[in-house]
Structure 1
Amino acid sequence: MKKTDRTSPAESASRQPNSESSSRQPSRREFLSKGSAASAGLAGAAVLGRAVRGAEPEAGSSEPVRLGIIGLGGRGTGALNDTLSINDNVRLVATADLDPKKHQVLKRLDKYGDKVAVPENKQHSGIDSYKHILDDADVDLVLLTTPPGFRPQYLLEAVMSGKHVFAEKPTCVDPVGYRMCLDAHQKALDNNTAIVTGTQYRRQTNYVEAIRRIHEGAIGDLINMTARYCSRGIWYRARKEEMTDTEYQLYNWMHFIWLSGDQIVEQAVHNIDTMNWVMNANPVSAFGGGGRFTRPEDSEMWDSMAIDYTYPGNRQVSFMCRQIPGAAADNSNVIYGSEGIATILGGNGGATITDRDGKEIWSMKGDIGAAYKQEHKDLVDSIRSGKPIVELKQTADSSMTAVLGRIAAYTGQNVSWDFLVKDSELGLFPEDFNVKNSRPEPQFAIPGKTELI
């Protein structure tokens, strides 16, 4: 790695040597200021091609919804299994991934028969392979399952190309990406195209029912809440000798903030989404801290954070996340009301409501597997009905709430929501992105030194 002065991850991620390689993508600043020429062409191609399912007359709706996927890693493979197993009339027709070897996943999808029909010329590889999916008139619905740092631009380009979208969480890792998500949300509404996101708890029956009861007053006036996503570790991939700095960071993307957003954004966003859902609002501000004890030397991630969020009405949410081997795990949301307490556990943990004395009033088991599938069924059903779901803003808000907590911890400052969404210029994605480029020495944030931008 090239040596640099010590800087914050935000500053590190923006420093890139110039390159004229074809692997360069338009910077986010360029994309936002003048639009993407590629996307303009894609939009035209979509208009001239076959009608996207959901846009055609009712008589044509018997054709399968044609799927393309960008990102064939673990979550991409999971999303394919979920949508192919729950939906009867869909067909995977195109794939894209940085690594050509990832297309081998298609062999594991043989069990779905003619729901998978991807010829070799539609198995695209390389950093620009996503463009082939968006420029394919045979693709109706695109699944975005790459590392999160790419999500905002891919979302916006997909919507501009006239595609329906499934986007994994989180949908952004910085304020610049958040604004791109809001733009994409509005464009999808204008286009009458769908965007469903990978916040499966929004479709998990025990979550839906518990939060409905909370909103209807089952625990009285809402006082405060605690939320925790504490796990025992996360994967790490050692660098291979032939890799450039950028190739390595893409390969080991969880550990670099411009790609993952840190644990609070990439993983714990599920609990943060639940917080916003329960509070029925975005937070006003965040104050917190954390640190790192067990991360590999070149990881930019912290391994623990504790954030106090203030919501409208001066309601408080105490949030904690960590990934420390050997430490206790806890994935829970506990909501305290004037008349009772609601506990909603992650995964299959279920939900309960008790009175203030601890007597159980209501409970329901959890089934996260069904929720993973339901989000894909709801998406395809909405396309077929001609009433597409567009839920990007709620997930962008939750992703930004996670970013708010991370920035408060990294900088050691009390940070307001209004500052980040209106004034912050923080954009982590490299301005001149190229897979062959070197990268600054990885640096982790230090409160009091890392600047609030």
Structure 2
Amino acid sequence: MLRNTSALSATVVAASASSRFVHASESSNHDSDPDRVIKLGIIGAGGRGAGALNDSFSINENVQLIAMADVDRNNCVRTRDLLKKRHGDKVMVEEDRIHAGLDGYQKVLEDPEVELVLIASPPGFHPSQIAEAVKAGKHVFAEKPSCVDTAGYKICLAAHDEAEKNGTAIVTGTQYRRQVNYVEAVKRIHDGEIGEIVSAQSRYCSNSIWYKNRKEGMSDTQYQIDNWMHFIWLSGDQICEQAVHNIDAMNWVMGGAPETAYGSGGRFTRPENSEMWDSMSIDYTYPGNRVLSLMCRQIPGTQGDNGNVVYGTKGIAYIDAMSGGSRFVDWSGKETWSKKGSISDAYRQEHKDLIDSVRAGNPIVELRQTADSSLTAVMGRLACYTGQRVDWDFMTNKSTLNLFPENLDWNGELPPSSYAVPGKVKLT
């Protein structure tokens, strides 16, 4: 099973809406009837895919899962059966609508009854699968990050524009943008409640991350996809896969992407064949010489810290991650405002907003903002990996970084794993 991804990238960006795919608009009545059943497909049926489906089923009525794809058929069956017990007739997936293998997702996109596709595959696959879903005329929910390299970023921008032309939705897994304490905190910052932004600090520090040993008989491709977190072409390292949540929040606060990134870090505790670093510290400089100090870390036995602090001329905003809430204080330390928030509610709200926008005929398209945040994470990773200062102009106009294997064979070989060493890795 060969897949030329260079050709694929060109195809998904340039292809017109007329293709072998059946458009949702050709198979569904797009009126505002709240009782119309919107039929779903899932690409990537592991833990995050199951979570996304559960969130959608929990908050939306009249949605129904009818098609599934994953490289491992067992993931589809396990997720289908689990969600069937919880949500009953919202899960109606027949055996012939379960698709396995690297190209199984194409069967979901070809299904004329599927109107909306949830994409929760490893991040390295996101750009091409999002673009193909848009080309197919499907509405999309896409997990973060949107991309792990510059080539993927450009595919995402083209897909965003095509979705706007198609009239199809793309909502992304950046739940903080729908968490009530984040929404109000950012509005208050933009309204000047803490004065002019001077600087900010963000931390995504935890103890560890999962790792899978290689099973006997696995090819390189099979093992790397199974253990995808530890291979950069698939995960983008922890800064893309995890810390992008905080980066996205800070880009939101700052009003856009940073101009430069300069950072450092290293690896001390990773398994030998993991390509991941286990810590990065980066200074991002935003327009107006506003500096964000970002740290992300996954080291067992260390103290965790996850949240954001924004320093203004009149006060300080604390915007904690997860369900920690937000609060503002003035420079004397007096609390001036606070608000609680629930991350589980935010996870569900993004799916409600998506379905509501589809039913109303006013589809949300937000891929560009998440792609910008994902490329901000890539820029920080490159600054650490190379030891160089990296700027946004280079990333968007000069970089040719494309991590996806040119030809991906399910049973084939891939280059041996290796981790980045600053001074040896060059900017591309």
User: TM-score scaled by structure 2?
Assistant: 0.97
Partner of 1:33: 10
**Maintained 8 Å contact 1:203/1:371:** yes
Opposite residue 81 of structure 2, the aligned amino acid is K
**Maintained 8 Å contact 1:134/1:161:** yes
Partner of 1:217: 192
- Does 1:143 find its partner at 2:127? no
The structure-2 alpha-carbon separation of the partners of 1:52 and 1:219, relative to structure 1 and needing over 3 Å to count, comes to farther
The structure-2 alpha-carbon separation of the partners of 1:299 and 1:210, relative to structure 1 and needing over 3 Å to count, comes to same
- Does 1:266 find its partner at 2:244? no
Cα displacement (A) at 1:450: 0.3
Q: RCO (CA 8 Å, sep 6+): is it higher in 1 or 2?
A: 1
The structure-2 alpha-carbon separation of the partners of 1:345 and 1:46, relative to structure 1 and needing over 3 Å to count, comes to same
Correspondence for 1:317 among 292, 296, 306: 292
Correspondence for 1:46 among 3, 11, 22: 22
Correspondence for 1:104 among 67, 78, 92: 78
Mapped partners of 2:347, 2:79: distance in 1:
19
Cα displacement (A) at 1:31: 2.6
The structure-2 alpha-carbon separation of the partners of 1:416 and 1:90, relative to structure 1 and needing over 3 Å to count, comes to same
Correspondence for 2:384 among 399, 409, 420: 409
Partner of 2:219: 244
Q: Secondary structure at the match of 2:159?
A: helix
Opposite residue 349 of structure 2, the aligned amino acid is Q
Partner of 1:83: 56
Mapped partners of 1:189, 1:50: distance in 2:
14
Partner of 1:364: 339
Cα displacement (A) at 1:246: 1.1
Correspondence for 1:342 among 317, 340, 354: 317
Correspondence for 2:255 among 280, 284, 289: 280
Mapped partners of 1:42, 1:408: distance in 2:
41
Mapped partners of 2:70, 2:157: distance in 1:
26
Mapped partners of 1:278, 1:89: distance in 2:
35
Partner of 1:297: 272
Mapped partners of 1:395, 1:240: distance in 2:
35
Unaligned runs of 5+ in 2: none
The structure-2 alpha-carbon separation of the partners of 1:310 and 1:106, relative to structure 1 and needing over 3 Å to count, comes to same
Partner of 2:134: 159
Percent of aligned pairs sharing the same letter: 56
Mapped partners of 1:418, 1:276: distance in 2:
16
State the Cα deviation string for residues 307-340 of structure 1 (Å, max 9, x = none).
0001011111100000000001000100000010
Cα displacement (A) at 1:50: 6.8
**Maintained 8 Å contact 2:200/2:308:** yes
Partner of 2:97: 122
State the Cα deviation string for residues 355-378 of structure 1 (Å, max 9, x = none).
001100011112000000000000
Cα displacement (A) at 1:288: 0.4
Mapped partners of 1:52, 1:397: distance in 2:
33
User: TM-score scaled by structure 1?
Assistant: 0.92
Pairing 1:354-433 to 2, within 5 Å after superposition: 354-433=329-408
Where do 4+ consecutive residues of structure 1 move more than 3 Å? Answer: 32-37, 39-45, 49-53
The structure-2 alpha-carbon separation of the partners of 1:274 and 1:177, relative to structure 1 and needing over 3 Å to count, comes to same
Q: Secondary structure at the match of 2:22?
A: helix
Unaligned runs of 5+ in 1: 1-22
Partner of 1:6: none
Mapped partners of 2:13, 2:166: distance in 1:
17
Mapped partners of 2:46, 2:78: distance in 1:
11
- Does 1:435 find its partner at 2:410? yes
State the Cα deviation string for residues 116-154 of structure 1 (Å, max 9, x = none).
111111011111100000101100000000000000000
Mapped partners of 1:169, 1:182: distance in 2:
15
Cα displacement (A) at 1:354: 0.3
Partner of 1:74: 47
**Maintained 8 Å contact 2:326/2:338:** yes
Q: Secondary structure at the match of 2:420?
A: coil
The answer to which of 288-297 and 103-112 deviates more is: 103-112
Cα displacement (A) at 1:42: 7.8
Correspondence for 2:149 among 174, 177, 190: 174
Cα displacement (A) at 1:289: 0.5
The structure-2 alpha-carbon separation of the partners of 1:268 and 1:25, relative to structure 1 and needing over 3 Å to count, comes to same
Partner of 1:9: none
**Maintained 8 Å contact 1:204/1:371:** yes
Q: Secondary structure at the match of 1:46?
A: coil
Cα RMSD for the two superposed structures: 1.6
Mapped partners of 1:35, 1:215: distance in 2:
37
- Does 1:207 find its partner at 2:185? no
**Maintained 8 Å contact 1:94/1:118:** yes
**Maintained 8 Å contact 1:69/1:143:** yes
Cα displacement (A) at 1:35: 4.6
**Maintained 8 Å contact 1:93/1:116:** yes
Opposite residue 4 of structure 2, the aligned amino acid is P
Cα displacement (A) at 1:439: 1.6
